[in-house]
Structure 1
Amino acid sequence: MNDAIVDAASKHFAPNYFDARRRFRDYVGDAAGGEAAIYSSPARGPRGEEVSTDVAWFGDRRAAKVGIMISGTHGVEGYCGSAAQLDWLAGRGYERLKPDEAMLLIHAINPYGFAWDRRVTQEGCDLNRNFVDFSAPLPLNEGYDLLADSLVPRELDGPLFVAAEATIEKFRTTYGELAFRKARTSGQYRHPTGMFFGGLGPTIARQTLERIISEYGIESRQFVLILDYHTGLGPYGYGELQCEQASGLSGYQRARDIFGGSVTSPDLGTSSSVVLNGTQDDYWQRLLGDRHVYVCLEFGTYPPEAARPLLRADHWLFAYGRENIEKDVGHEIRRRVKQHYFPESADWKEMVLYRCRQVHRQMIEGLRM
């Protein structure tokens, strides 16, 4: 066992959002040449605490080539991304930047979700389904429409719950498992209290990202490489580099040129994810076209079917059981969601940091291609 990386894992994986934010600010403050900024959120934490997205820039503000590391797109998944960012800072990765290169670290882009151990934003939206063009007709998801009341029933036990599970099982038997996954997870825009809701307009978290990118002049750069950390899909502890459909096969090839054959694509059916609507890469593709590479570094935890009852309970809690949010049942629901997306075990943390160090090295090399 590599004692150094085990020690790093014990230092960089925080027990909660507030400790993660403190560690990020401390590391940035101690780093040579780092430029910090805080983007406060109108959301509040479970005890009314202020929450924020924190940003750090390293390198020349006029650099032609910029790498971007983003944590916390799906709130509770931010434990992994935050630790990866801290590990890069602790390893002084910024010292390897050349004069025409820079790195932008965006910590907890969805601070509400991170603070509350939820995947969604304060509006109840999946941020990675929120980057659609809201001036155009919104994507349809007829499968979700059929299942909406069953995926998040008004009760978590009793006859109504049993009927909901029966409806889901009938859908799976009739249309197949892939159709069910697409219906449940690809994104929907009609059921605000439901799972994977993409919103009816840009969320505050999306607007924060757009503001950061504008204020740092990212649109004018020659080349931008974005790394977005996630957890919950794929084999336990394995870090899959996923492209999104927005960049198409040309974006996939650009990513392969940098990161190698482990890159996957939903267009080719090699990704552990189905094709999604309104992903963050929709934004990057509109903004930068072929001047960017976006990859989602997705670390596996537990089987997706294990997540379904946890997310169902989370959405039920905030849609139908709000009086329980600060009771034992609410705390237990949030604890189980956190446990699914952040296995607090030494082996998983060690696997994450090994892979992140490899990808971070490839990222710096990719800025020079």
Structure 2
Amino acid sequence: MSSSKVFSQSYAEARYRFCDAVKARGFHLETRVLEGHTGLLGEALATDATIVGDPLAPELIIVTSGVHGIEGYSGSACQLSILEDDELLRKAERAGKALLLIHAVSPFSFSYGRRANENNVDINRNFIDFSSVRPANSGYAELHPLMLPEAWPPGDQNRDAIRAYQLERGMQAFRDALSTGQQVHPEGLFYSGLEPEWSNRVLREIVGMNSASRQRAIWLDIHTGLGPYGFGEKILVDMRSNDADADGWADAKRIWGHDVVSLSAGESVSSNASGAACALLQSEFPSIDSMSLVIEFGTLSMTETLEALRFDHWVYRNRNLPNYDTLAREARKTMLKAFYPASDLWRGMILGQMRAVMEQTLAA
């Protein structure tokens, strides 16, 4: 399949293609509109979902795109490739498994080319217990003024200070302090928010409606931006809460291979962040035999990706500047390079690896 058939150039195009493919298959389309906001091109913003196969099947495979909005380009392409794959859909039907495809979990940030949503909240840090007092992320508090300096581009003094922190504390400590999640700086990076966001509530509703009666569920959440170029790291977010022993870990490796890594064990390119969306299967439905897997497709180096994130957040923080529109356009271009490479080679790697993951999951 040519990548141009499934990879889009805007959220509006991706949504149109997804909805059109669902309707062409005769599947039911569920739509949740984000009221009070319009997209970059003036379009409506929505999370769309469909069930493929027997809606009462005892086993469910969930595939989500756009939890981090701009990463939805690749997730949307993978979902569209599933909808257009006759052989894969026949295998799902024969296996007696239903597929739940949830498109553009964070439609605002998909449309505007950001990872953070309409309130600058990182949705993948937002699935936490807001009723309990959470410890402050002192590491991020120290890094915040370095991540978002007064002027952009940052000077040598800023970069030297960041390198000094990395050398003194170590790269793992730097990554954890930066990206675990924080609730003190609402204009900062990896902000968890102070309450469940719209995308959080909608995702809970869609997953709840379609998962409660299942015996078994596997969640595949598609992300980009970390790791070697084009490589899809398979990250076990949480072992099944009703079987969190060695058997659960062994099952994950049996399904997806011995290159599966554990988020909680610190084996992944990603930090063990609090509030991951796909972990709600274990937290909300403990009676279901479930596993959640993030597929993280690498793009640029961590330094380049972080630089794009810093610039994007710096522009957001300075959105009252008279040249904001120009800065925002430049930030979107930088973010696209970091999270959505314009390369047929990269895009082909994404589709091939996702197809393999789907085959493995259906055979489980």
TM-score > 0.5, shorter chain as reference: yes
- Is the Cα–Cα contact under 8 Å of residues 281 and 290 in structure 2 kept in the other structure? yes
- Is the Cα–Cα contact under 8 Å of residues 126 and 200 in structure 2 kept in the other structure? yes
Q: 2:301 aligns with which of 295, 303, 307?
A: 303
The match for 1:244 is: 237
Q: Does 1:263 find its partner at 2:260?
A: yes
Q: Write the mapping of 1:97-176 to structure 2, written as runs, cut at 5 A.
A: 97-98=93-94, 100-157=96-153, 163-176=157-170
The match for 2:45 is: 51
Distance (Å, rounded) in 2 between the aligned partners of 1:324 and 1:272:
38
How many residue pairs were aligned?
A: 356
What SS is found at the alignment partner of 1:124?
coil
Deviation (angstroms), 1:138: 1.9
1:137-176 Cα offsets, whole Å, 9 max, x none, are 2243111011112211232147xx5554343233222212
Q: 1:234 aligns with which of 208, 219, 227?
A: 227
What SS is found at the alignment partner of 1:103?
strand
Distance (Å, rounded) in 1 between the aligned partners of 2:218 and 2:40:
34
- Is the Cα–Cα contact under 8 Å of residues 325 and 331 in structure 1 kept in the other structure? no
Distance (Å, rounded) in 2 between the aligned partners of 1:62 and 1:360:
20
What SS is found at the alignment partner of 1:26?
helix
Change (3 A) 1:280 1:30: same
Distance (Å, rounded) in 2 between the aligned partners of 1:79 and 1:281:
18
Deviation (angstroms), 1:60: 2.1
Deviation (angstroms), 1:95: 2.5
- Is the Cα–Cα contact under 8 Å of residues 238 and 292 in structure 2 kept in the other structure? no
Distance (Å, rounded) in 1 between the aligned partners of 2:322 and 2:89:
45
Worse-matched range after superposition: 50-59 or 284-293:
284-293
Deviation (angstroms), 1:253: 3.2
What SS is found at the alignment partner of 1:106?
strand
The match for 2:275 is: 278
Unaligned runs of 5+ in 2: none
Q: Write the mapping of 1:4-153 to structure 2, written as runs, cut at 5 A.
A: 5=1, 7=2, 9-32=3-26, 34-42=27-35, 43-92=37-86, 93-96=88-91, 97-98=93-94, 100-153=96-149
Q: RMSD in angstroms over aligned alpha carbons?
A: 1.9
What SS is found at the alignment partner of 1:355?
helix
1:44-68 Cα offsets, whole Å, 9 max, x none, are 2124421101111112222211111
Deviation (angstroms), 1:94: 2.6
Deviation (angstroms), 1:36: 1.0
The match for 1:200 is: 194
Q: Percent identity?
A: 33
Q: Does 1:221 find its partner at 2:214?
A: yes
- Is the Cα–Cα contact under 8 Å of residues 219 and 287 in structure 1 kept in the other structure? no
- Is the Cα–Cα contact under 8 Å of residues 246 and 282 in structure 1 kept in the other structure? no
What SS is found at the alignment partner of 1:68?
strand
Distance (Å, rounded) in 2 between the aligned partners of 1:40 and 1:271:
34
What SS is found at the alignment partner of 1:244?
strand
Q: 1:329 aligns with which of 327, 330, 341?
A: 327
- Is the Cα–Cα contact under 8 Å of residues 219 and 278 in structure 2 kept in the other structure? no
Residue type at the aligned position of 1:342: Y
Distance (Å, rounded) in 2 between the aligned partners of 1:156 and 1:303:
20
Change (3 A) 1:162 1:265: same
Unaligned runs of 5+ in 1: none
Q: 2:351 aligns with which of 341, 350, 353?
A: 353
1:76-106 Cα offsets, whole Å, 9 max, x none, are 0011110001111111333322374211100
Distance (Å, rounded) in 2 between the aligned partners of 1:167 and 1:138:
28
Change (3 A) 1:344 1:324: farther
Q: 1:184 aligns with which of 149, 159, 178?
A: 178
Worse-matched range after superposition: 238-247 or 351-360:
238-247
Worse-matched range after superposition: 51-60 or 107-116:
51-60
Q: Does 1:210 find its partner at 2:204?
A: yes
